[in-house]
Amino acid sequence: MGCFMYQYPKQILTITQQVQSYIDAGMTITSRVDVEKALKSIGFYRLRGYSFHLYDNFTKKYVPGTKFEDIIKLYQFDQELSVLIFSMISKIEVALRVRLVEALLVHGDALILKDSSIFKDKKMYWQNMSTIASEIARSNDVFIKHNFDKHEGEVPVWATVEVLSFGTLSKIIKNLKTGAGSAYAVLATNYQYTSKKGNLANPSQKMFASWVQAVSILRNMCAHNSRIYNRTIHTTPEILDADKITPTPAHNGLYQILLAMKYLRSSDEEWTKFVDELNNLFQNYSNVISLTAMNMPVDWKTHLSV
């Protein structure tokens, strides 16, 4: 019997057909030329993510008054938001690497990451070792090469931590042993928060790891130009009680991960500047964005301020 390749039921539309499909669905278009230009540089399928909330699947029509230029504005907002967040996460990430190295050096051993005794779960230790090995091998970093040439290929913790992905860092932190004198205890002192009673508290390891993991997922979304606006983000950072929204939203969104970023901030000054820029961005696009689409409460600024 002959083998036939699956025929996908939908055909890709030409640019002209794409514009026509907008018009047929009742979208308001002021300049056809502008729409074609946008479709050529951004693409029909990427733009859909910014208009599906305005489209009625039942009637196959856009909400009356939906303007193409507003969808483009929403797309531009999302691009600017992504750049802003990515730049802040880079600062968080650099600080986390420095602080993790400093914490690991309480053991006084440059090759401490190879020592299974500082990690809780030995299976996870080996899985992480294998990831660390491949990330070191993949690196073209001059410091890594120096250790290959001069130190029998042994790579000290301060060089290793620089080349690991944010996701791998999060797995290492998650597996550290805790308790007095541990590297985790030293690391956590950099990320204290004020408890309900008004005392400074160290985040629990589970809490801290959930922040790092959430921020690492958002970082990858920014790096790969994924849409952030109006999106469910499936990772759940542990939020401090003071910042929880009631009723609890059904899904995690940007607000929850921005809080994780706040808890992991590199410095109060850098964070304050970021919140101001975020506020300006929201103001600039206030006519096309909805705060609810990002899970942001009305008083989001109070929660994000330090």
Q: What's the pLDDT at 135?
A: 93
Could you tell me if 136 and 163 are in contact, meaning their C-beta atoms sit under 8 angstroms apart? yes
Residue pLDDT, tens place only, 213-231: 999 999 999 999 999 999 9
Local confidence band at 1 (pLDDT 50, 70, 90 cut-offs) = low
Residue pLDDT, tens place only, 157-198: 999 999 999 889 999 999 999 988 899 999 999 999 998 888
53 phi/psi in degrees, rounded to 5: -70, -10
> What is the rounded distance in angstroms from the CA atom of residue 253 to the CA atom of residue 234?
8
Could you tell me if 19 and 29 are in contact, meaning their C-beta atoms sit under 8 angstroms apart? yes
Concatenated DSSP letters of 230-286:
T------PPPPGGG--SSPPSS--HHHHHHHHHHT-S-HHHHHHHHHHHHHHHHHTT
Q: What percent of the chain has pLDDT over 70?
A: 99
| Mean pLDDT across the chain | 92
Q: What's the pLDDT at 223?
A: 93
> What is the dihedral sign for C-alpha 105, 110, 116, 117?
negative
Residue pLDDT, tens place only, 34-86: 999 999 999 999 999 999 989 999 999 999 999 999 999 999 999 999 999 99
> What is the dihedral sign for C-alpha 133, 138, 142, 148?
positive
Could you tell me if 135 and 127 are in contact, meaning their C-beta atoms sit under 8 angstroms apart? no
Closest CA to 257 of 213, 203, 302, 290: 213
Q: What's the pLDDT at 2?
A: 63
Could you tell me if 80 and 281 are in contact, meaning their C-beta atoms sit under 8 angstroms apart? yes
Cβ-based neighbours of 186, under 8 Å, separated by 6 or more: 102, 103, 106
Residue pLDDT, tens place only, 229-240: 999 888 899 999
- Residue spans of the domains in the chain: they are 15-66, 76-304
Q: Identify the top-confidence range among 70-79, 102-111, 241-250.
A: 70-79
Tell me the H-state helices in 111-242: 122-138, 142-150, 157-163, 166-175, 183-188, 205-223
Cβ-based neighbours of 245, under 8 Å, separated by 6 or more: 255, 295, 297
Q: What's the pLDDT at 222?
A: 95
- Number of Cβ atoms within 10 Å of the Cβ of 248: 9
